[in-house]
Amino acid sequence: MNALSVKQLNLFVKSLIEGDARLNNVTVTGEISNFKNHYQSGHFYFTLKDSDASIRCVMFRAYAQRVSFLVNDGQKVVLKGRVSIYEKDGQYQFYAEEMHEQGLGDITLQFQQIKEKLEKEGLFAEENKRPIPKYPKRIAVITSDTGAAVQDILNITERRYPICEIMLCPVAVQGENAVPSMLDALERVYALSNCDTIIIGRGGGSIEDLWAFNSEALARKIYESPIPVISAVGHETDFTICDFVADLRAPTPSAAAELCVPDKNELLSLLEKRIALLKGALLAKANYSRAKLEALTQKTVLSNPLLITQKRSEEVDYLTEKLMSAFSFILNKEKGRLYESIARLDALSPLKVLSRGYAIAEVDGKTLKSVTEIENGEKFKLKLRDGSINCTVDSKEI
């Protein structure tokens, strides 16, 4: 048996396909996905799909230059061309020679409807966006644990800011379980309350691969987050609903890691600059204080300390004299008041009355004011100017 090489087999199948006239002039309609405009060759590479199937397509530069509109994923188009096989990989594909725009595809239309609805509700409003912490202690990463995205995030955070902890929350990022898986992960992270930032995303892919991140339920759950969320879905040109509702959109997972943590080298450089500024300020302060001290030491009063004591001695003498003068004034004033009081008291003294020939009768030290206060036969003392006389009452006259 003569065995065919793989290339021979593919060429044989190619000849069969190209030999069918019906496949050499085909018009087909569908939605563009995974569109790439090769910047070097100018060829278009994309997938044409509908709800049930897809086919790889190529449009060479000579034909691509005739397309009169800007081609993007999600557009519905009508293609005219032929079907053939690329013998190197055995993949049959459609070689487009004409392309006409038909309108937005179902997926793109659904995306726009969700986006407009949430935007009207204010979920994308800039005033609701929170700043990303500058120096996070712990970051929750919600992505697939088998993709390149998680390794990029781990490598970059380890290189830039190794003191930050990464809490990986493995989830499905495409397929039927993707949205429930991510919703559950977000709910668990919210309940922990020990993270500073959340990164949610995945690597690039087709619009179908990224579709889970256009979920309305996922967007609302991100909007409820108590901490800032960074959306890092796909490549730089990919946009999802999560990008609009998150606090910050990163073009790639790698960029999300760079936006989320500072660079330790930049921090060390900044610290060195601050230390240099602090040293300069301290040195300037020391030089200023030294110059001020030297200026003070040049003053006469410090070179001859006796001047200080002489000056202080003069001040003490002056204050002493002033104090004595004030004290003498107060003393004389109080002395005058004392003499005045003595004169008044002397004028009212009973002795003055006695000196004029009057006498005072007393019983047991109490002055008699009435004859009724003493009885016949009782003794009393009669006080005169120069002494007293002991007396006895013989009789009373009223």
* pLDDT tens digit sequence for 162-220: 999 999 999 999 988 999 999 999 999 999 989 999 999 998 887 778 889 999 999 99
Q: Which two tokens stand for residue 266?
A: 């930049």
Residue 243 has a pLDDT of 94
> Within a domain: residue 289?
no
| Chain CA centroid to CA 7, Å | 63
Distances (CA, A) of 294 to 278, 281, 297, 304: 24, 20, 5, 15
Same domain, 72 and 129: no
- Output Rg (C-alpha) for the chain, integer angstroms: 56
Q: Is residue 297 part of a domain?
A: no
Domain match, 193 and 80 both: no
Q: What is the pLDDT of residue 228?
A: 96
Residue 11, in any domain of the structure: yes
Residues 158 and 225 in one domain: yes
Whether residue 140 is found in the same domain as residue 255: yes
- Per the structure, the complete domain to which residue 12 belongs is given by 6-104
Asked whether residue 98 is domain-assigned, the answer is yes
Please check whether residues 314 and 355 belong to one and the same domain: no
In a domain, 360, yes or no: yes
CA dist 317 and 311 (Å) reads 10
Residue 283 lies in a domain: no
Per-residue pLDDT of the chain (398 residues; tens, 9 = 90+): 678 888 888 888 989 988 888 899 999 999 999 999 887 788 999 999 988 899 999 999 999 998 888 888 888 899 999 999 988 888 899 999 999 888 666 777 788 889 999 999 999 999 999 999 999 999 999 999 888 889 999 999 999 999 999 999 999 999 889 999 999 999 999 999 899 999 999 988 877 788 899 999 999 999 999 999 999 998 877 789 999 999 999 989 999 999 999 999 998 999 999 999 999 999 999 999 988 888 877 776 666 666 667 777 788 888 888 899 888 889 988 888 888 888 787 777 666 666 676 788 888 878 888 888 888 888 888 888 788 888 988 888 77
Q: What is the pLDDT of residues 107-156, one digit of tens each?
A: 777 888 899 999 999 999 999 999 999 999 999 999 998 888 899 999 99
Domain boundary among 47, 70, 104: 104
Domain boundary among 76, 104, 132: 104
CA distances from 275 to 37, 88, 244, 270 (A): 52, 63, 41, 9
Q: Are residues 337 and 366 in the same domain?
A: no
Q: Select from 279, 225, 233 the least CA-distant residue to 252.
A: 233
Domain-terminating residue out of 104, 139, 157: 104
Answer yes or no: do 11 and 63 share one domain: yes
Q: Do 365 and 251 fall within a single domain? A: no
Residue 258 lies in a domain: yes
**212 shares its domain with 79:** no
Does residue 322 lie in a domain region?
yes
Total of domains in the chain: 4
163 and 252 housed in the same domain: yes
